[in-house]
Homo-oligomer: A and B are copies of this chain.
Amino acid sequence: MLERRKPIPIGDAVQKIMEHQLHGVTEYVSINESFGRFLSEDLIATSDVPHFDRAPYDGFAVRSIDTREASQANPVEFKVIDHLGAGMVSTKVVGQNQAVRIMTGAMMPEGTDAVVMFEVAQDNEKNGTPYMSIKRSFNKGDNVSFTGEDAKKGEVLVKKGTLINPGIQAMLATFGYKDVPVAKKPLVGLFATGTELLEVEEALVPGKIRNSNSHMIAAQIERAGGNVKYFGKLPDEFDTCFEAVKNVLNEVDLLITTGGVSVGDFDYLPAIYDKLGAEVLFNKVAMRPGSVTTVAEYKGKILFGLSGNPSACYVGFELFARPIIRKMLFSEKVHLRKEMALLQADFPKANPFTRFVRSSAFIEDGRLKATPSGLDKSNIIMSLAGANSLMILPGGTRGFTAGSEVEVLFLEDQTGSEWPW
């Protein structure tokens, strides 16, 4: 009496989801709130950098023409007519054999075209007037940072979809982005289903466990860049679940449920999708854990029916829900970053389906290696805590031995990949 479902390859499942047109939305946030958000427009240089010729060192600004004859045998003397710190602007025009004492970052005074660093100048004073002399010549432009040297006005400096890091924060400030265009965080609704679930504050009773999936998925949503709206837990009752799911769909961009997607007697999500009239994109994927992951589309919203099993739930989110969230954040590399690693342990289990093994990936002597981070029992949440990656063990094989090359997906990395499948 078991329902028979036809498993589809992982890549096909991801493809079916990504075909749906979900677009990002721009919102403006203060630069003080923009760290960690995703740019929704290209960051463009609104001015040259620097936007004036400036001294890159402490020294004396001079006219290079006046230094031509300077040598060890023939020191040339300059009268120091002004003294500039960064941010100060000289009102003087520098004439023949005149110099301005200038600090790093200050604007080159009119007439000057080179900077003599302190180390090669000899200070002196005559009747209270400062002078300096040099024993070598300088070319026009020596020790000057020229306008536009670092960036030209109009240049695209950072592409949209990029995560804003401290360096980008500095650029935003440099170019006057007081308000920064960032991707609005997609709002992801979340229900946990299961009569066995207790809330975190409830005492344990026989047969019931605390709802850990919601807290895990909420953190995964946040890590992916979304906002979570937790609607609570639902018992395994068809009508209750149906009404609950139907009622919240307009409030969110995406909806995730955990549990209720297998073929058990109280797994109602497939029937709920059916009654809603949602189009089921797939209800079985050729993978472990998470083969029963079911994804449907209804009126432009994607409904993720993740397994109630913690590992399957975790993997299902990262493979199927994360890329849609990243797409709505304007990212071009929406999937988890994939790399080749050396397997550090035997993995003798045969895999009919592709298996995702929670792993610790690390670099040793410049080489990426990966080792399973715990027993691979699908109900063990413990090994999730130490995992920074998922090892991909392809299906149809007889197991793997230490030293094999395997692919890993990085969980805690923002680099992403365009298409890992």
Give me the interface of A with B, judged by CB distance under 8 Å. Answer: 1-2, 31-32, 35-36, 47, 49-52, 56, 58, 83, 85-89, 101, 103-107, 118-119, 123, 145, 150-151, 157-158, 164-178, 194-197, 200-204, 206-220, 222-223, 230, 235-236, 262-266, 308-310, 314, 339-342, 363, 365-368, 377, 379-388, 405, 411-415
Contact = CB atoms under 8 A, between A and B. Distances in A.
A167 B265 contact: no
A145 B207 contact: no
Contacts of A206: 52, 89, 107
A145 B414 CA distance: 37
B207 A106 contact: yes
A122 to B, nearest CB: 11
A367 B364 CA distance: 10
Contacts of A202: 176
A196 B236 contact: no
B101 A265 contact: yes
A362 B413 CA distance: 12
A85 B166 CA distance: 50
A366 B362 CA distance: 11
Contacts of A51: 204, 209
A280 B249 CA distance: 60
Given A262-B104, A366-B341, A158 B87 contact: no
A381 B201 contact: no
A360 B212 CA distance: 37
Nearest to A163: B412
A87 B194 contact: yes
Given A86-B236, A265-B85, A170 B103 contact: no
B382 A151 contact: yes
Contact of A385 (B168, B215, B380, B415): B168
16 contacts: A50-B209, A52-B207, A58-B264, A85-B195, A86-B236, A87-B194, A88-B207, A89-B206, A150-B380, A169-B218, A170-B215, A170-B310, A173-B200, A174-B212, A177-B200, A342-B366
Nearest to A224: B166
A236 to B, nearest CB: 6
A265 to B, nearest CB: 6
Task: Find the residue from A164, A166, A206 having the highest chain B CB count within 10 A.
Answer: A166
Nearest to A83: B265
B207 A171 contact: no
A340 B365 CA distance: 6
A98 to B, nearest CB: 19
Contact of A173 (B170, B215, B309): B215
A55 to B, nearest CB: 10
Contact of A265 (B49, B103, B168): B103
Given A167-B216, A195-B85, A218-B32, A210 B385 contact: no
Nearest to A52: B206
Contacts of A219: 35-36, 164-166, 169
Max chain B C-beta neighbours (<10 A), residue from A106, A119, A170: A170
